[in-house]
Each structure stands twice: as structure tokens, then as C-alpha cells.
């Protein structure tokens, strides 16, 4: 699913956002998150026609910025003091590097839509829009944590650096989820269960520098931490979490779904395995920024 680069200039942005959804799963979850009772199995055009204007807008809010579905987290010292309205004057549809294409507010949160060159790199040529990535930078006022939804780590970095330059904040710092206090809060407040873990071994005399654990063969949904051997490993000072497949419980209000994600701890990266509505993405973003 590609986001429209300038959804705020569309004549009927709610209809346009819904027509852009190419995932039946996302549409069903968006309806549920919006509290709209409608048959998601009907064709998209029939569904849109069946919704009232108010319902269309409620559902559109759940999908408008819900792609890409990988979030990269960074800390930008000074972001908490940034007035997002000052960024509107930097909106452009031309130029090299990352272009800020739209500034919006949704669910009392700020959204910056950007057009990013392939790989996120600054180039001497201006790639055509069809060759660019759409990235979405989002944050809450009063917090220094930025979430960037992007298809690649490079485009996420380029987007956060662009915001830092425009907002005159300090350089972005990747949010390392292995920080002891942050990790403790993450596992207590957000992680429902680990189903796969890749651990790094820092002991120089160890026979391996990597351990991979999986719950394959166990009861579906089994949390690896329930295994005493795994728990003892996680408590060792020479073991650190590198990556994992994780079920999150973001308390988004959607009791039907706990998102399954791939999490890279040191990179502050969360990739959703199935499409999620804005309510879920937002709940995870706010859980991360509060760690």
C-alpha cells in the first residue's frame, strides 16, 4: 500500500484514503478500530458507498497514514519544544533529498509526510516521484521521541535528519531498546510474548556469539519466557537481546488483535507482520515514547 503524497489536497480525502487500501485485513481492522459496523467483505466501492460521510472519515483516519508498516524510533533532543506549525512553510514538491510534502494533525498527534530518494541518500539528481519512498514522521507534543514509518532504515534516517534540520533540533539518536531501564519497561508494559529470540553473547570465551531460540513445536502463542532455561539465559549479564518475533499488547482498545511484529532492539525498529490500523500503531508509538 502506498500513501498519497499530498492527501490533504485531495477533494475527498476520506474516500481517496479508503480507495488506496489494498489489504482486506487492514480494512476490517480499521472498521473495528473506528467502531463502525459494516460488512468488510463487500467490494471496496460498495463499502465506501454504504458508509455515511462521518463513518468514512472515522475509518479513513485509521488507514490514512498506516503505511509503511515498519516504525523506526529515534530521540531528537529539542523536539519536545518544536512548534509543528512552523514547518508548514517548508512544504515543497521540488528539490533534492528529502522533501516535506504535508503537515497534519490526527488524534492529537503530529504527522509529517515526506518524499524520500531511494536509499534515503542525498543525490545530485532529483528522482521522479514514482522512484521515491513515502515516509511518515510522527510525534506527540512535549516528547523528544520520533517515530518514522519507512520502507528502509536509510529512508527513516534521512527523514529524521530532515526533521532535525527543519526544526533546528539536535541530531537524531537511534532509540536503543536494550537500555536496561527501557528494556524492563518494554517487557512489562508492551511485550505480551516472545516467539523467537536472537541473543548476542558478549562473553569472549563463549563457544558462540549468537543464540537463536524459537517456540516452534510448542503450543501456538507460547511465550519463550515461560521456559526456565530461556529465562535463565535472559538473566545472564553476558546475554543481550538482538532481535525477536514478538506479540505486543499495546492496549489500543482492540481486544481482538495483539500485533505480531519483528523487533530489532538496538535499532529501535518494529515491523508489523500483518497490516494494522492507526489505533494500534499509535498505541505502540505512545508506549515506546513513554518507556
Q: What is the pLDDT along the chain (291 residues), one digit of tens a residue?
A: 455 544 545 556 889 889 888 888 999 999 999 999 999 888 888 999 999 999 999 999 999 998 889 999 999 999 999 999 999 999 887 677 888 988 999 999 999 999 888 776 655 556 666 677 889 999 999 999 999 999 999 999 999 999 999 999 999 999 999 999 999 999 999 999 999 999 999 988 888 899 999 987 556 568 999 999 999 999 999 999 999 999 999 875 555 678 999 999 999 999 999 999 999 999 999 999 999
CA–CA separation, 129 and 120 (whole Å)? 13
pTM (2 d.p.): 0.91
Close Cβ partners of 133 (under 8 Å, ≥ 6 residues apart): 68, 115, 116, 117, 118, 120, 150, 151, 152, 155
188: three-class secondary structure by DSSP: helix
CA–CA separation, 181 and 179 (whole Å)? 6
Q: What are the strands, taking DSSP E only, across 189-290?
A: 191-201, 210-214, 239-248, 260-264, 269-272
- Look-up of cell digits 468488510: 40
CA–CA separation, 34 and 247 (whole Å)? 22
The architecture CATH gives domain 70-174: 2-Layer Sandwich (3.30)
Give Cα separations from 151 to 54, 100, 136, 156, 269 (angstroms).
31, 17, 10, 8, 11
Q: Where are the domains of the chain?
A: 7-63, 70-174, 180-289
Amino acid at each position: 500500500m502506498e500513501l498519497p503524497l499530498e492527501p490533504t489536497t485531495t477533494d475527498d480525502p476520506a474516500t481517496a484514503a479508503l480507495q488506496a487500501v489494498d489489504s482486506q485485513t487492514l480494512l476490517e481492522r480499521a472498521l473495528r478500530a473506528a467502531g463502525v459496523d459494516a460488512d468488510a467483505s463487500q467490494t471496496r466501492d460498495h463499502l465506501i458507498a454504504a458508509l455515511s460521510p462521518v463513518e468514512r472519515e472515522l475509518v479513513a483516519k485509521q488507514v490514512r497514514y498506516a503505511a509503511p508498516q515498519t516504525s523506526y524510533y529515534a530521540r531528537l533532543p529539542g523536539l519536545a519544544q518544536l512548534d509543528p506549525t512552523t514547518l508548514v512553510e517548508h512544504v515543497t514538491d521540488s528539490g533534492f533529498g528529502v522533501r516535506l510534502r504535508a503537515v497534519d494533525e490526527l488524534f492529537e498527534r503530529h504527522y509529517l509526510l515526506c518524499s524520500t530518494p531511494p536509499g534515503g541518500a542525498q543525490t545530485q539528481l532529483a528522482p521522479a516521484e514514482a522512484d521515491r519512498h513515502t515516509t511518515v514522521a510522527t510525534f506527540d507534543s512535549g516528547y523528544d521521541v520520533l517515530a518514522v514509518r519507512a520502507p528502509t532504515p536509510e529512508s527513516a534516517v534521512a527523514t529524521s535528519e530532515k526533521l532535525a534540520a527543519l526544526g533546528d533540533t539536535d541530531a537524531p539518536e537511534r532509540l536503543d531498546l536494550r537500555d536496561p531501564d527501557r528494556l524492563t519497561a518494554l517487557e512489562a508494559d508492551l511485550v505480551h510474548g516472545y516467539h523467537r529470540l536472537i541473543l548476542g553473547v558478549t562473553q569472549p570465551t563463549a563457544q558462540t556469539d549468537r543464540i537463536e531460540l524459537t517456540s516452534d513445536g510448542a503450543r501456538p502463542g507460547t511465550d519463550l519466557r515461560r521456559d526456565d532455561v530461556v529465562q535463565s539465559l535472559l538473566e545472564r549479564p553476558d546475554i543481550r537481546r538482538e532481535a525477536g518475533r514478538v506479540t505486543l499488547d499495546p492496549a489500543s482498545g482492540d481486544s481482538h488483535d495483539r500485533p505480531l511484529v519483528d523487533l530489532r532492539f538496538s535499532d529501535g525498529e518494529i515491523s508489523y507482520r500483518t497490516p494494522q490500523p492507526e489505533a494500534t500503531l499509535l498505541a505502540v508509538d505512545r508506549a515506546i515514547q513513554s518507556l
